[in-house]
Structure 1
Amino acid sequence: MMNKKKIISYLYIISIFFLTLNVNAQSITLADNTRLSALENNSNILKNYFKKYDHIIIHTHDGAWTKNIKLPKNGIKEGSEIFFKIDSGYPV
């Protein structure tokens, strides 16, 4: 069985490896009402963002949200990520 120090060392090395992989990744946060409203039932808008960005963060809050966000079914490069930060009172 491995001791705790060795496990922590391995985890540290793995985390540094993944951080190095993502150094050149481009990211964008969509948080204003204009951009979020454009996403309403339109997966092509997200698909276009994924052509330029590897990581997309959708941040909703009161005054800037949309009810239905459709994800593209294809045409997204491998390794792309989307994150949702929901701070709006209404559900997304």
Structure 2
Amino acid sequence: MKVPETHGSYGASLFDIKWKQKRKSILDRDQNKCVICQDVHGLQVHHRQYHFINRLNRFKEPWDYPNELLITLCEVCHKRGHRKYKIPTKYI
């Protein structure tokens, strides 16, 4: 089975109300600060792991991840992390 290189409509999913609510809960939990550098500007919620659903041949929706797999990062730390580390994909 060939796994897609990208999350397809992932970018569009970020406008969904379910993601906006999940994102807000993670930002609130992390006190609206980057967990690495404590910056409060350009905050993004980062998935520490991706889940690919084999039977559906697609990734989970961004809001369907447990909170412990999501962290708040500033844009700089987020970009640095993606350059330095490959985010693991779990096949479920």
Please give the range of the TM-score, normalised by the shorter of the 2 chains: under 0.3
How high is the TM-score relative to the length of structure 1?
Answer: 0.24
So what's the TM-score if we normalise by structure 2?
A: 0.24
Structure of higher RCO (CA pairs closer than 8 Å, 6+ residues apart):
2
Which structure: larger Rg? 1
